Amino acid sequence: MKFDFFDVNTFLGLPTRNTVKSPASAAELLAEMDAAGISKAVAWHIAQHDYDAAEGNRLLSEAITDEDRLMGCWTILPPQTGEVVTDDFFARMKQNLIVALRVFPQEHHFLMNGLTMGGLMDQLFQRRIPLLLSLTRGFTWERVHAFCKEFPFAHTILCDIGIWGVDRYTWPLLDACPNLYLETSMLSLEDGGVEAGVKRFGAERFLFGSGFPERYAQAAVLQLLHAEISDADKTQIASGNLMRLVEGIRYE
């Protein structure tokens, strides 16, 4: 059976802080996706993290313009500063085909809590806009749990979550937070991995992600193809769940 893969976790642009070989352009990213058998992706630009959120958002939008296989993921900052979140923010998201957001509070020097982000988080929830948190970029498990305790109904996607004993960290969150999803690129162990998670919570709580270019896109594809779950579950995880999230966004 052939599956359409829709990647929720990939970036383009040249990193400034490490030696990862990454695609410099949308064309290079699409070529890597073709090689791995990935149909579509929600991409972000590494400059959103390494350099400047607003400039990185601009570079991303410029890169994916007219690329119908790529949707965008911007980075947000506290709305009080007006650096990224302005009165026309959601209109600009729609115009630029931005379907998700990221946040890097440690690197961008703010606290991800209700005092700083509560009003914006209410807007994201009402508009059903997914927010991605990365365990390799600024979020410890303690910070993830604190975020989920404060915003239990947020549409949240945990990325880059690791493979050792993550069920002990993630399953309490999946129980408590009905709109929480796990990205699959590092869920590779049977104990607490995709199979165990699907059995416990259903396939609808998992989204395919490659972690490319920091991980091999082909490995993420093969991992899901060979998972001991049904084809219907694989279809949901490969693309169906993410498409449902994207189609549910309300920009206005």
CB 135 within 8 A of CB 161: yes
Evaluate the CA torsion angle 166, 168, 171, 175 in order and state its sign: negative
pLDDT in tens, 98-126: 999 999 999 999 999 999 999 999 999 99
**In CATH, what number is assigned to the domain containing residue 31?**
3.20.20.140
Residue 20 lies in a domain: yes
Residues shown for the chain: 252
Confidence of residue 188 (pLDDT cuts 50, 70, 90): low
Instruction: Report DSSP letters for 151-194, one per residue.
Output: STTS-EEEES--SSSHHHHHHHHHHH-TTEEEE-TT---TTTSH
Nearest partner of 196 among 165, 241, 162, judged by Cα: 165
Average of per-residue pLDDT across 13-28: 86
Residue 1 lies in a domain: no
Instruction: Check pLDDT > 70 for residue 247.
Output: yes
What pLDDT is attached to residue 187?
79
Confidence of residue 189 (pLDDT cuts 50, 70, 90): low
What pLDDT is attached to residue 66?
92
Residue 176 lies in a domain: yes
Average of per-residue pLDDT across 120-139: 96
| Structural domain of 72 | 6-247
Residue 252 lies in a domain: no
Tokens of 207: 């989204």
Can you name the residues that pair with 133 across neighbouring β-strands?
158
Confidence of residue 180 (pLDDT cuts 50, 70, 90): very high
Residue 206 lies in a domain: yes
Q: How far is CA 110 from CA 56, 57, 88, 141, in A?
A: 18, 18, 22, 17
Residue 80 lies in a domain: yes
Q: How many other C-beta atoms are found inside a 10 Å radius of the C-beta of residue 13?
A: 24
Residue 63 lies in a domain: yes
Residue 184 lies in a domain: yes
What pLDDT is attached to residue 162?
79
- Number of domains making up the chain: 1
Q: Cα–Cα–Cα angle for 40, 251, 44, nearest 5°? A: 35
